Structures are given as structure tokens and as C-alpha cells.
Chains A and B, each alone.
Chain A
Amino acid sequence: MKILVVDDFSTMRRIVKNLLRELGFTNLDEADDGQTAWPKLKAGGYDFLVTDWNMPGMTGIDLLKTVRATPETANMPVLLVTAESKREQIIEAAQAGVNGYIIKPFTAATLKEKIDKIFARSAS
């Protein structure tokens, strides 16, 4: 399983990648915003997207919408990991088709729980 981790802060990308490795995911790639992430996703080969919301260039919500609007990536599971905590934003993400929403700061247990849930759903 190949995962793309998108965040404009390199420390957060390292943290998420580290935690994903702990969970047994070793095929990891990264991008620093939606603009650099999208060409990678479009080129194919990714199975799961973990993205921040607030990023320069292209935000995570726009990336999610683009992913959903493109037939090749429309079914890819997407997990938002963000500091944005407004209800209207969570609802917007849900309406855009997000598969999980984690607010920062988060714990390793939360990340595991959400990922387990996403894959349990996509398996069923």
C-alpha cells in the first residue's frame, strides 16, 4: 500500500510518516501542498492520501475535491489531519467526501483508530 502524506510543515510530515511506519506502512511518499501532491496522485500508484487542510498553493479541501472529481482517483480513501476545528469546515469536508477527520494535536492511537476504520470500511 502506497500512501501520500501532504502537509506544508516538514516536521508534521515526518511525524505522520513515522507513525504510519509504526503501524506497518512502509511505502510512503510526501508533498508540501495540494499543488505538488496532485501531479503525483494523478500519475497514479497511490492507495491512500493523508492531508492537512491549511496549506499555501492548494489547500487540502481543494485537493480532496479534485481527487473526488477525477475518475482515476475518485475512490481513494482520504484522511484529513488538520488544526481546523470549525463545525462548518468538518461538515464541508464530509460533504466533499472525506473518509476521516483528525484534529491536531492528535495521538498515535487516534491515527491508528481512524486508519483501521477507513480500511475496515473499504474492505467491507
Chain B
Amino acid sequence: MQNGKERQEFLAKAKQLVANIEANEDVAAAELLSSMSYEREESLFNEVGQLTRQLHDNLADFSIEGQLSSLTDKGIPDAKERLNHVIDMTNEAANTTLNAIDEVLPVTAELQESSDQLLKKWNKFIGRELSLTEFKVMSGEISKFLEASCKNTKFVHTKANEIVLAQGFQDLTGQIIKKVITLVQDVEDSLVDLVRIAGSADQPQAEVNNVKGVLEGPIVPGIEVEGAVNSQDEVDDLLSSLGF
């Protein structure tokens, strides 16, 4: 809006315009009118310019552009890598588990079959229905069965431990998914703030993500974490360089 001085000048010009028209000074009246409308336009442009600058400053102060572009440039592609890695890890764990079971099942089937056959012979022996020759055969079979049992139960035990270890995916994928949930929350918050800033002249304070001190969680292929080691060997080397 015009201030008092501008209003006075505007009123003086309007009076001058009326005077010019009454005195039939058409040329002067036209010039005055044109100069007045030019001033109006100029002041409108200035106001639009000011508003634009203010909006730009608001956005810059709020750093919403930075936040959003960092989320779209880095956050979202990282989230894709992370989720792809979750698929890979669950796939690997499922395959490790199923492979171990595939290897164990024939072994337990074989154990069961040998036990069944031996049990039948053993019951015949208990019932005194076994000849000496058959007993000698059975003795040999029992020896072989016991040997195979030792070997096979050890094998089943090893495979069971492989299955146990494969379940570690639950912890690691859980940590990765939690990070993606945080990212989705950040995107949501930024969008809500963007809507708010576009809808009002408020200047909410930007909450700058504190990068230092954040725990990175599991290693995700394709996502470079500055200063991270890539293997247990590197951890051991680092610790031994520190005198461990």
C-alpha cells in the first residue's frame, strides 16, 4: 500500500489531472495520465519482485531445496540399493537354509532305512530266529551302521549350524529396513514442510540432519560409507595396528 507521502503526491496529481481536463488541456492531461499509470505499474513490479525475493529467501533459509535434492539425489537411490540388498540377503539366507535341508534329508532318510532294516534283524535275533551266518552278517551291518551314524549325525549337526548362522539376515535386514523407514519419514517431513512454506509466509526453522555420529549399520554393496572397512580382515589389521 502507498504511504502518506505517496498518497499526497497521488492526490495532487489527480487534482492536476482534473484541472487539466477542465481547462481543455488534453495533451497535458494525457501525458499526466500516462505517467501516473506507468508509476502504478512500476510499483506493482517492485512488489512482485519483492515477493519473489522473499519466497526465494524463505526457501534458502529453510534449506528445503537442499534437503529435498539431497533426498532425491542420494537418499532415495541409497534406499533402493538398501532394499535390493535386503532382497539379496533374504534370498541368500533362504537358499543356504534350503540347500542345507536338501543335503540333510537324504542322509536322514538313509539313516532311517538302515535303522529299520537292522531293527527287523535285531528283533529276529532277540526272538532267537537268526542263524549264526545271519548273525555274522548282521554284526558286520551293525558296525557299518554305527560308523555311518557317527559320520552322518556329525554332518547333520554341521548343516544345522549353517542354518542357524544363516538366520543372521533377520538382524541385518532389520537394521537396513529401519534406515529406509527413517528416510521415508524424512521425505514425508520435507514434503509437509514444503506444503506449509508454500501455503503461508511462515519461516519454519530447518532441521539439519546431523550426519556426524550417526551409526551406519550393515555394509550395503553399492553404498560407499566414508572410512568403512570391507571385511573382518581389515578390522583385524586395523586393531593390530593399534597394538591389539
Size category of the B interface is 20 to 34
Contact call A91/B216, Cβ cutoff below 8 A: no
Q: How far is the CA of A110 from the CA of B165 in the complex (A)?
A: 12
| A-B CB contacts (within 8 Å), total count | 87
Say which one of B20-28, B196-204, B232-240 lies at the interface with A.
B232-240
Choice from A14, A83, A87 contacting B238 with Cβ under 8 Å: A87
Distance from B92 Cβ to chain A, minimum over Cβ atoms (Å):
10
Residue of A nearest to B89 (CB): A105
Contact call A90/B235, Cβ cutoff below 8 A: yes
Q: How far is the CA of A67 from the CA of B170 in the complex (A)?
A: 28
Q: What chain A residues lie within 8 Å of B216 (beta carbons)?
A: 84-86
A interface residues, tally (CB under 8 Å)? 31
Contact call A104/B218, Cβ cutoff below 8 A: yes
Q: How far is the CA of A9 from the CA of B242 in the complex (A)?
A: 30
Distance from A22 Cβ to chain B, minimum over Cβ atoms (Å):
6
Contacts A19-B164, A54-B215, A83-B175 hold; do A106 and B232 have CB atoms under 8 A apart? yes
Residue of A nearest to B230 (CB): A85
Residue B94 at the A interface, CB < 8 A? no
Choice from A7, A19, A101 contacting B165 with Cβ under 8 Å: A19
Q: How far is the CA of A72 from the CA of B215 in the complex (A)?
A: 29
Contact call B229/A11, Cβ cutoff below 8 A: no
Q: What chain A residues lie within 8 Å of B169 (beta carbons)?
A: 105
Distance from B47 Cβ to chain A, minimum over Cβ atoms (Å):
52
Please list the residues of chain B having a beta carbon within 8 angstroms of any beta carbon in chain A.
161, 164-165, 167-172, 174-175, 215-219, 225-232, 235, 238-239, 242, 244
